[in-house]
Structure 1
């Protein structure tokens, strides 16, 4: 009986610690104090241009790519993907912490 209550309190503390630590790291990431874990990294493409060998289609494609990279740099896409990945991971950790805390509450009762 006493062992289950002690285990319950340990689980409550562990679950709350997981939730609090995840929220702390999320706050730091979204406030810009630390960077999100780098999972996705879009490589920088090397431009090779030979104007004589490219046709009209190639020139149009190159111009469109250049304009798109000026509007939205490729680094923005990787940052958005990394933040989305962190958000998913944080959601999983918070959900797991809540479940662990719930099990601890049931053991205490």
Structure 2
């Protein structure tokens, strides 16, 4: 009789531990997903800036070249600066890299939550 009750108690204990672990995994997975979504919302609405992975190098001032090729390169670079604002390419790359990272966070959170759901079943 005592052995049967110990087995039942141990079985219930394992079941309860499994449910607690499953709920913890679900909560952690959802927290990771919501963190990624909230951070992305804050970045794309302008409340915070995206992490700077790509940086624009500072403008280098060089000696004025008198040759035609050097003058032509300077003219072309000045025209490109007029078309694209300084730092826009780096900002675009930073936003794209954050989007990829946020996608990885959402995917990872979904996998963690999926493990929790499987443990509940």
Measured against the shorter chain, the TM-score band is over 0.9
Q: Alpha-carbon deviations, 1:35-90, whole Å to 9, x = none?
A: 0111111112223242xx43111111110001101111231011111101100110
Counterpart in 1 of 2:39?
25
Runs of 4+ in structure 1 deviating by more than 4 angstroms, as ranges, are none
Which of the two has higher C-alpha Rg? 2
Q: Of 29, 33, 41, which aligns to 1:15? A: 29
TM-score in terms of structure 1 length: 0.92
Aligned length: 107
Q: Show structure 2 runs of 5+ residues with no match.
A: 1-14
Task: Give the SS at the match of 1:74.
Answer: coil
Counterpart in 1 of 2:51?
37
Counterpart in 2 of 1:83?
95
TM-score in terms of structure 2 length: 0.84
Q: Show structure 1 runs of 5+ residues with no match.
A: none
Q: Of 47, 54, 76, which aligns to 2:61? A: 47
